[in-house]
Structure 1
Amino acid sequence: MIAAAGLMAGSLVSGRPVSNDVTIPGTDAQRAHDLMRDGFGPGYAPGGTVQLVLYSDKGPLTDEPRKQAVERSMDKLRDLPHVKQVESPYRRGGIASNLQIGLIVVRMEGHDNAKIAETTQALSKAADPARALGIEVVPADSSTPADKEIKTGPSEIIGVLCALLVLVLAFGTLVAALIPIFTALVSVAAGLGVIGLLGHVVDVPKQAGIMATMIGLGVGIDYALFLLSRHRKLLADGVPVLESVRRTVSSSGGAVVFAGGTVIIALSALVLGGFPLLRTLGWITGISVVFAVLTSITLAPALLGVLGEKVNALKVPFLGRRREGSGGWAGLGAWVAKRPWSVLLASVLALGALAAPALALKLGPLDDGYGTQGSAPRRAYELMATGFGPGSNGPLVVVAELGNKVAKATDPIVEGLARDVGDIDGIAHVSPPKLNDAGRTVMIQAIPDYAPSDERAPAVVEAVRALDRPGVNVHVGGEVAALADAADRISGNTPLVIGVVVLLSAMLLLLAFRAPVVALKAALMNLVSLGAAFGALAIVFSYGVGSQLVGMDPPADASYLQTLFFTVPIEPYVPLMLFAVLFGLSMDYEVFLLTAVRQAYLKQTERRSSRRESDEGANEERSGRDHGHSDNRRAVAEGLGSTGRVITSAALIMVAVFVAFIAYPDPLVKTFGVGLAVAIAVDATIIRGFLVPATMVLLGRLNWWCPRWLDRLLPNLSVEGHEDDEEPQVWKSEPHVVSRS
């Protein structure tokens, strides 16, 4: 607690700098941006330009009183720090044909890109003279959705309150319910403190805080919940407090460490995605998981030891009377174990129906046209589209290298290049070419016919890049080009990321349970839950069913049908990020369920082995096989019965936390909220409650089979540890079955 408080205090005192740098080294768009910065100055590079959109509903902006007010605003803009150039709306192409919409372009130099929001606010304030005459001035957001600052709000509070309600219903006592909440809040505070301090050393994306909070709250509460459930069960069995805490940490604590390890491995694999933003988000989000594990195995046991028997204080009437392993989940476990084939078939059909819509998942850039209705970015977007066309919200920046030749603005090669760009299908307008001082780099702004989110926009980028003029190397930058390059890079590296995550997670499970079949099956089951998550995303965002329910606002001029089925593209890097997060979180439940089943199976098999030593008869071998199958069936039913209630409570907590974040106005957060909530709900019910137990019953003793050579190679690790002081028994009754470590 002291460490968490110190980290958070240090972060608050020293500030929490963030960076909107979304460079993608090695791409054509990045080359164009580098040439712009080097050849024309930082005012032309991404982050160096701020646009103010003007709108006069009372008359043309060219009327003398309004023109004077606009010019006074530009004078105030020029007096602000770091302003290098202010381009008038009365220049060529700066005012719309209706003369009511104009654009002031402010180019900055020497300012802090991490404070672009504050800079934009100051620039907008300088335009008050124009506002005084009734002119609407809206700052246009030139950043991509990946750059946007996501501010925290009441969603965290709502998520925590929902989690507290679930815990009260699960435990029936207020004190027990508060322990996971408290440990999770401490872990989140420590994680955010470290992330804030890291901002002084490395570039920390603005989404890092919100992602760390979402994942940190979910896993922090869940991990403490599993430990607390085990501790209360031991107390109910009459185990003394300190001994119960020791056994809890040695058994469930090991499962927490392994579960957290799978999440961290999945997030760390994002470094292979080829997208710097994705890579940074991965390892920074992993920090919150590390602190969730640390607080669960240190702070939570300390609280349990201090509270003693008072952990069950402040009981809520009529709640918490049922013991673990009794009631509905125990009955469900026995029911599934009796009819595994029927359950398997029904589960596969249900999951297939949930995953089928994923085939229509629409990926693409997410522009400000999908922002909250009435927000400044959405208003500026709509004004720009009305006055200058939809493509004005995502202009292409064509940068050409002329090699060693020094050219002039009037040279045929410069004018010809601008003419060639303007002749390309899909280009609506081309600005006059700009030549840098060295005469070796040409910059042309091209306005496409399509909005940045239009699926036809990337084809225009490729057409411009395909221009072939002798001695000229053409590069295309801008938001559309950068996002297209990012999508290509991510799609090319996606198979590698998926393969590494699945392989490493399966290897970790193999080390934990020494059972190759279980490890492989767990990885496949997690992929199934991902299919359901992507199917839900497709239904909500690609088909538009319920998009308004999650807060997506359709255009003001949309028809009734368009409003009812308002579709939203999903950023190309979102599925890969969701894959890593969901794969790790799904593995958590797999670890806890398998731990319970394995413990039950080993105990039953050891009891049977001791009985068989005194048995004699010709049918001994056959009887052993029959009993082995029966042991596995009972172990699966017992494991599901003992963990089902806890896993369901943990899943409800995560779902509540993720659903609460859907209330954020940012579409990116909404996407993550929907995907995470659906996947966890499906994983904890259909997959862990039905599909996994059914397959384990059908596989029988193959679940725990391990070749002798592999058994000798694997180190002696154990997820569940040992709960007593007796020497661990080595199970040698079946040569082909794993030894108990």
Structure 2
Amino acid sequence: MATDTARTDGVLAGLARFCYRRRRLVLLAWIVGVIAVAFAGFGYGAAPDNDFSGGDTDSAKAQALIEEHFPERQGDTLTLAIKADNGIDDPAARQKIEKVLAELATSPVVGPVTSPYQDEHLVTQDRHIARTTIPLTHKEVDKAEVKPLVDMVKNASGDGVTLGMGGTQAEKAETPPQGSAESVGILAAAVILFIAFGSLVAMGLPIVTALLAIAAGIALMKLVGYLVPSPDFTPIIAAMIGLGVGIDYALFIVTRYKDGLQAGDEPETATVKAVATAGHAVLFAGTTVVIAMMGLTVMGQRLMTGVAVATSVIVLVTMIAAVTLLPAFLGFTGHKINSLRLPRRTSRRQQAAGSPEHRTLAERWAGVVQRRPLVATILAGATLLVLAAPTLSMRLSLPDASVQPHDRSSYTSYEILSEGFGPGYGAPLIFAAQAKSTEDLRPVVEAVGNTEGVAYVTPAQVSTDGQAATFMAFPKTGFQDQATTDLVHQLRSDVLPKAPGGGEVYVGGPNALTIDQADDIGSRLPLMIAVVIALSLVLLIALVRSVTIALQAAVMNLLSIGAAYGVLVAVVQWGWLGPAFGFPTAMPLTTWVPMMIFPVLFGLSMDYEVFLISRVREEYERTGNTREAVARGLARTAKVITAAAAIMVAVFTTSLLGPDVAVKQGGLGMAVAVLIDATIVRMVLVPAVMELCGKANWWMPGRRAPKATSGPPAEAREEARV
């Protein structure tokens, strides 16, 4: 009786009771609130900020000098690449090329267009390949204004003449929207929920709750962008995470609600108990994800802090929806939660409470693992370490034209320019310094030009105010090559310091900026990991009241995430099955992917740990037998954790249907990690390691292990107590 009273009293119980009884008011408030926030956010929200420059790096200092003293170079540019089989001087080829140049010159977003026929430096010696740089009239050009230019150039190719349009704005213009990836994820989640719950009504509640929360969360995220800006990929990542956790959190509560009805509770009582028990776990789980995401602030990067805040907003809204909106929905459904059922051959009790065959299978599996815990631990640990091994060769960069789908005009431009002017043409290094004449930089220009790995350098130019000078160097290797990174490091550590005046010269440009970001992330990532683990450990110890289990969870989560990193490196960087997953070619991991997915995955792994261990602890307090507690805890939670993990995997995997290779990397990494966590970790490592630890599982300084208590049979008890 005391337990039931605890489940129907308290803040969450009172909130659930209020939302259930005032369900029309709560639903109306949510609908009006979502509409209002969506109108403000989607209509007047802050624009994305993709400026990753800044800080104290060489590239940031070079960029600051250029912005201050070379204002004429602030606008973006496009690059037209031309290849003619019979040479650009062939009459038919020249007519086609000049027609394209004339059409480009008439565009209102394009500045003066220099014809390669007017500048010999723009043409290769054999005159088969040419290029020209096309300035844009202002810094922020809408991609809708650039798309017609890209399409015109692409359509003009043919009859022995190949044309490609390159540049950052060209890449953005021809990158299609994310499309139906989220819709596919929702459909996959619906199928999984229908199989798990067996009714359309029970299936629909988590999805509707999550969708309303995501709509409000993304709109609110755009408004928060005025205070903490974030890059343009943030809504996609936030939507994936929000959809996954939103459905999962609602899934846990609806499952407990159905169990309450099966136990004979009235709908209101079942709702209150579900929110008072599973709701606590949801709030803890969501708080863990938020704290883990805020670990990104340790990276010291302004825009990644924006990503952390924006994603945390989404998770917070889904948490609030789970404990307020969902109880209101349950008030409308009542006993109809099992309406529109999926025909099954099992009994009504099995449909409501979960298949005994499923529970028996889970218990039997736990028994198999527990009979050989050391062997299971070694095999599972070795598997995870093997999967994680490729992580040691991880390289970070940002996607450029060379890793885009091969049917895009930007990739065609990259191929033409690489063939005619070398692969380093798309990876220029921009040197900047405070200098009053070109003579001040002459020794530096010569030293850089004589460096192994540099194809050629341009003459130095002085700013119109006479306060700064700049020149460019083109590597022999491409943007994504390790040799280019090594060259930048050599120039900074060896070549420039030895050249007269070189100590005051900064190496910048998009390539150097990417290298600096990768180096900065690589150096700060261990600190972020340590902070996230420490904060999560404190929360988990407070919840499960066991140092041993908290440490086990941290180590296992690290292993599963490391394995996900390893798989990601093998697929993306090594190219193993890369095309099958939508990666056109082997490429380094995008700089923000490892640091972005770590806190997300660590938070989600802690979620599953909470739902499993809380049940195991309850069984141990009842029986005092660790082996039995683990087996029964695994059996009681296997179905719901499996369904939750399957939803996460389905949602994250749908990112592979989208066009953005960086988002694909993030989605693949998170899907692999959740899959590994729900299988190798939860089904093998957890029962094996807890069997090995025995009573030491419950060690807590200054407190004895929990003693067995009498109580009703386990089948009649709740699945978890938080």
TM-score band w.r.t. shorter chain = 0.7 to 0.9
Q: Partner of 2:311 in structure 1?
A: 285
Q: Do residues 380 (structure 1) and 413 (structure 2) align?
A: yes
After TM superposition, the structure 1 stretch with the greater mean CA deviation from structure 2, 349-358 or 675-684, is 349-358
Contact conserved, 1:171 with 1:320, CA < 8 A, in 2? Answer: no
Q: C-alpha distance in 1, partners of 2:346/2:420?
A: 63
SS of the residue corresponding to residue 527 of structure 2 reads: helix
2:536 aligned residue (488, 493, 505): 505
After TM superposition, the structure 1 stretch with the greater mean CA deviation from structure 2, 83-92 or 21-30, is 83-92
1:528 aligned residue (556, 559, 576): 559
Q: Do residues 29 (structure 1) and 59 (structure 2) align?
A: yes
Give the drift of 1:109.
Answer: 5.5
Give the drift of 1:171.
Answer: 1.0
2:295 aligned residue (250, 254, 269): 269
Q: Partner of 1:514 in structure 2?
A: 545
Q: Partner of 1:717 in structure 2?
A: none
Equivalent residues in 2 for 1:659-698 (5 A)? 659-698=653-692
Equivalent residues in 2 for 1:536-547 (5 A)? 536-547=567-578
Q: Partner of 2:618 in structure 1?
A: 599
TM-score by length of 1: 0.83
Q: Partner of 1:93 in structure 2?
A: 121
Give the drift of 1:101.
Answer: 3.0
The aligned amino acid for 1:568 is M
Q: C-alpha distance in 2, partners of 1:243/1:154?
A: 39
Q: C-alpha distance in 2, partners of 1:251/1:134?
A: 70
Q: C-alpha distance in 2, partners of 1:488/1:392?
A: 23
Q: Partner of 1:609 in structure 2?
A: none
Residues 143 and 527 of structure 1: CA distance in aligned 2, closer, same or farther (over 3 Å): farther
Contact conserved, 2:170 with 2:410, CA < 8 A, in 1? Answer: no
Give the drift of 1:72.
Answer: 7.0
The aligned amino acid for 2:314 is S
Contact conserved, 1:56 with 1:101, CA < 8 A, in 2? Answer: yes
Q: Partner of 2:392 in structure 1?
A: 359
Q: Partner of 2:594 in structure 1?
A: 575
Q: Partner of 1:178 in structure 2?
A: 204
Residues 150 and 568 of structure 1: CA distance in aligned 2, closer, same or farther (over 3 Å): same
The aligned amino acid for 2:73 is Y
Q: Partner of 1:195 in structure 2?
A: 221
Give the drift of 1:121.
Answer: 3.0
Give the drift of 1:370.
Answer: 1.4
Residues 130 and 66 of structure 1: CA distance in aligned 2, closer, same or farther (over 3 Å): farther
Q: Do residues 637 (structure 1) and 667 (structure 2) align?
A: no
Contact conserved, 2:230 with 2:304, CA < 8 A, in 1? Answer: no
Deviation readout 1:190-220 (Å, 9 max, x if unpaired):
1221223334554321110110111111111
SS of the residue corresponding to residue 580 of structure 2 reads: coil
Q: Do residues 260 (structure 1) and 289 (structure 2) align?
A: no
Q: Partner of 1:395 in structure 2?
A: 428
Give the drift of 1:678.
Answer: 1.2
Give the drift of 1:173.
Answer: 1.0
Contact conserved, 2:267 with 2:334, CA < 8 A, in 1? Answer: yes
After TM superposition, the structure 1 stretch with the greater mean CA deviation from structure 2, 374-383 or 92-101, is 92-101
Residues 459 and 358 of structure 1: CA distance in aligned 2, closer, same or farther (over 3 Å): closer
Q: Do residues 368 (structure 1) and 401 (structure 2) align?
A: yes
Q: Do residues 345 (structure 1) and 378 (structure 2) align?
A: yes
Q: Partner of 1:5 in structure 2?
A: 35
Give the drift of 1:234.
Answer: 1.2
Q: Partner of 2:73 in structure 1?
A: 44
Q: Partner of 1:437 in structure 2?
A: 464
Give the drift of 1:598.
Answer: 2.0
Q: Which runs of 5+ in 2 are unaligned?
A: 1-29, 706-716
Give the drift of 1:103.
Answer: 2.4
After TM superposition, the structure 1 stretch with the greater mean CA deviation from structure 2, 174-183 or 660-669, is 660-669
The aligned amino acid for 2:648 is M
Give the drift of 1:645.
Answer: 0.7
Q: C-alpha distance in 1, partners of 2:315/2:155?
A: 50
Q: Do residues 549 (structure 1) and 580 (structure 2) align?
A: yes
1:61 aligned residue (57, 65, 88): 88
Give the drift of 1:299.
Answer: 1.4
Q: C-alpha distance in 2, partners of 1:339/1:16?
A: 57
Q: C-alpha distance in 2, partners of 1:368/1:677?
A: 26
Q: C-alpha distance in 1, partners of 2:224/2:417?
A: 38
Q: C-alpha distance in 2, partners of 1:266/1:518?
A: 19
Residues 320 and 178 of structure 1: CA distance in aligned 2, closer, same or farther (over 3 Å): farther
Give the drift of 1:156.
Answer: 1.1
TM-score by length of 2: 0.85
1:651 aligned residue (638, 645, 648): 645
Give the drift of 1:337.
Answer: 4.3
Contact conserved, 2:200 with 2:340, CA < 8 A, in 1? Answer: yes
After TM superposition, the structure 1 stretch with the greater mean CA deviation from structure 2, 116-125 or 383-392, is 116-125
Q: C-alpha distance in 2, partners of 1:15/1:545?
A: 40
Q: C-alpha distance in 2, partners of 1:93/1:710?
A: 81
Contact conserved, 2:189 with 2:651, CA < 8 A, in 1? Answer: yes
SS of the residue corresponding to residue 239 of structure 1 reads: coil
Deviation readout 1:314-373 (Å, 9 max, x if unpaired):
011117753337322233344444543343333223323332333343444433211112
Kindly report the root-mean-square deviation, in angstroms, between the aligned alpha carbons of the 2 structures.
3.0
Residues 87 and 278 of structure 1: CA distance in aligned 2, closer, same or farther (over 3 Å): farther
Work out the percentage of aligned pairs sharing the same amino acid: 34
The aligned amino acid for 1:434 is Q
Q: C-alpha distance in 2, partners of 1:14/1:133?
A: 47
The aligned amino acid for 2:465 is A
Contact conserved, 2:174 with 2:408, CA < 8 A, in 1? Answer: no
Equivalent residues in 2 for 1:291-310 (5 A)? 291-310=317-336
Residues 154 and 482 of structure 1: CA distance in aligned 2, closer, same or farther (over 3 Å): same
Greater share of helix residues, 1 or 2?
2
Q: Do residues 106 (structure 1) and 137 (structure 2) align?
A: no
After TM superposition, the structure 1 stretch with the greater mean CA deviation from structure 2, 571-580 or 656-665, is 571-580
Give the drift of 1:82.
Answer: 6.4
2:488 aligned residue (447, 458, 461): 461
Q: Do residues 231 (structure 1) and 257 (structure 2) align?
A: yes
The aligned amino acid for 1:273 is M
Q: Partner of 2:241 in structure 1?
A: 215
Deviation readout 1:693-724 (Å, 9 max, x if unpaired):
2222332333233223899xxxxxxxxxxx99
Give the drift of 1:574.
Answer: 2.1
After TM superposition, the structure 1 stretch with the greater mean CA deviation from structure 2, 318-327 or 235-244, is 318-327
Q: Partner of 1:140 in structure 2?
A: 166
Q: C-alpha distance in 1, partners of 2:588/2:546?
A: 41
Q: Partner of 1:490 in structure 2?
A: 521
Equivalent residues in 2 for 1:696-711 (5 A)? 696-708=690-702
Q: Partner of 2:365 in structure 1?
A: 332
The aligned amino acid for 1:695 is V
Q: Partner of 1:241 in structure 2?
A: 267
Contact conserved, 1:171 with 1:319, CA < 8 A, in 2? Answer: no
Residues 379 and 149 of structure 1: CA distance in aligned 2, closer, same or farther (over 3 Å): closer
The aligned amino acid for 2:430 is V
Residues 18 and 364 of structure 1: CA distance in aligned 2, closer, same or farther (over 3 Å): closer
Contact conserved, 1:355 with 1:532, CA < 8 A, in 2? Answer: yes
Give the drift of 1:478.
Answer: 1.5
Contact conserved, 2:80 with 2:163, CA < 8 A, in 1? Answer: yes
After TM superposition, the structure 1 stretch with the greater mean CA deviation from structure 2, 276-285 or 170-179, is 276-285
Residues 477 and 514 of structure 1: CA distance in aligned 2, closer, same or farther (over 3 Å): same
SS of the residue corresponding to residue 103 of structure 1 reads: strand
Contact conserved, 1:28 with 1:476, CA < 8 A, in 2? Answer: yes
Q: Partner of 1:716 in structure 2?
A: none
The aligned amino acid for 2:582 is G
Deviation readout 1:519-553 (Å, 9 max, x if unpaired):
22211111011121122113323332211211222
Residues 132 and 161 of structure 1: CA distance in aligned 2, closer, same or farther (over 3 Å): closer
Residues 436 and 710 of structure 1: CA distance in aligned 2, closer, same or farther (over 3 Å): farther
